[in-house]
């Protein structure tokens, strides 16, 4: 592709030529054609046709059918300055979902969308299509994605630091924090000491010894309290 063609078309601001449909922004095919021809009058395009068999007859239609799903695709080639670029586009409904056995109107709409995209491959309005190929999620899927994002985040210790190999684990951190807050240790300053201990990033072995030590201490305090109650 000529650098002159791409550099010329990519610098054109097409924001005033776009249309908004739902979550998507489209470059109007009419504006795309007008802008292309204004800058490169010799530009041409071709809407590809495909054979379609029906009973004993064979027809030529501007779309190709997927025999497995019945979904249709259209194909358009745009030639500018002796460079031809092709674009294939599925026939979609207003929700951007594939249409099985589409009607003539849906096919025509897909052809014109495909034409605008084929022109964008030469540079015109290419920037507006960034991210369009990302999946469109339903509200329920979006909510689930947010939940998954939370649970899929890398685990960290309660001090915000990431665990290291051989070091205190998140489970050990949580257990130490819970034990340090037991009523039997209230007022002893144990909770503060445990936080300071965790900040030193102790080994798993040291953390396990600390857990056992706390459990033993809590058990002893409970036992003494029980014995005192019998006196």
pLDDT band, residue 134 (cuts 50/70/90): very low
Same domain? For 209 and 118 the reply is no
Per residue in 50-73, pLDDT (tens digit) is: 998 878 888 899 999 888 888 999
1-to-8, 74, 121 alpha-carbon distances in Å: 12, 23, 10
Same domain? For 47 and 94 the reply is yes
Same domain? For 129 and 17 the reply is yes
**Closest listed residue to residue 5, CA positions, set 48, 34, 42:** 42
Same domain? For 222 and 118 the reply is no
Same domain? For 124 and 22 the reply is yes
Same domain? For 127 and 29 the reply is yes
Q: How many residues does the chain have?
A: 231
Per the structure, the count of domains in the chain is 2
Which of 106, 133, 160 lies at the terminal end of a domain, its last residue? 133
Q: Considering the domain boundaries, does residue 210 fall inside one? A: yes
Question: Of 5 and 138, which is predicted with more confidence?
Answer: 5
Question: Of 19 and 22, which is predicted with more confidence?
Answer: 19
Average pLDDT over the chain, rounded to whole? 85
Alpha-helical segments (H) within 26-181: 29-39, 104-120, 139-151, 170-180
CATH of residue 28? 3.30.390.80
Q: Considering the domain boundaries, does residue 157 fall inside one? A: no
Per residue in 84-116, pLDDT (tens digit) is: 999 999 998 877 788 888 889 999 999 999 999
Same domain? For 34 and 79 the reply is yes
The count of C-alpha atoms lying within 13 angstroms of the C-alpha of 222, restricted to the half-sphere facing its C-beta, is: 8
Residue 84 confidence (pLDDT): 95
187 is in which domain, residue-wise?
170-230
Q: How far apart are CA 137 and CA 143, in angstroms?
A: 9
Q: Considering the domain boundaries, does residue 145 fall inside one? A: no
Same domain? For 80 and 174 the reply is no
Same domain? For 8 and 86 the reply is yes
Residue 142 confidence (pLDDT): 62
**CA angle, 69 then 71 then 76, to 5°:** 145
- Percentage above 70 pLDDT, the chain: 86
Q: How far apart are CA 74 and CA 91, in angstroms?
A: 7
Q: Considering the domain boundaries, does residue 140 fall inside one? A: no
Q: Considering the domain boundaries, does residue 158 fall inside one? A: no
Q: Considering the domain boundaries, does residue 31 fall inside one? A: yes
């Amino acid at each position: 592709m000529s650098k002159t063609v791409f550099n010329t078309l990519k610098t054109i601001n097409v924001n005033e030529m776009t249309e908004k449909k739902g979550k998507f922004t489209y470059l109007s095919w009419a504006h795309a054609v007008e802008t292309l021809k204004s800058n490169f009058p010799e530009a041409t395009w071709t809407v590809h046709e495909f054979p379609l068999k029906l009973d004993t007859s064979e027809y030529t239609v501007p779309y190709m059918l997927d025999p497995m799903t019945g979904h249709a695709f259209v194909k358009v080639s745009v030639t500018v300055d002796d460079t031809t670029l092709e674009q294939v586009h599925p026939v979609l409904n207003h929700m951007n979902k594939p249409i099985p056995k589409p009607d003539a109107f849906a096919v025509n709409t897909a052809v014109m969308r495909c034409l605008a995209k084929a022109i964008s491959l030469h540079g015109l309005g290419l920037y507006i299509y960034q991210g369009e190929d990302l999946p469109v999620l339903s509200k329920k899927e979006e909510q689930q994605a947010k939940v998954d994002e939370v649970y899929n985040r890398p685990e960290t210790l309660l001090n915000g630091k990431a665990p290291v190999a051989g070091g205190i684990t998140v489970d050990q951190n949580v257990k130490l924090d819970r034990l340090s807050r037991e009523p039997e240790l209230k007022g002893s300053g144990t909770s503060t000491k445990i936080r300071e201990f965790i900040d030193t990033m102790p080994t798993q072995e040291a953390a396990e010894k600390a857990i056992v030590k706390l459990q033993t201490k809590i058990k002893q305090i409970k036992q003494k309290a029980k014995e005192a109650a019998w006196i």
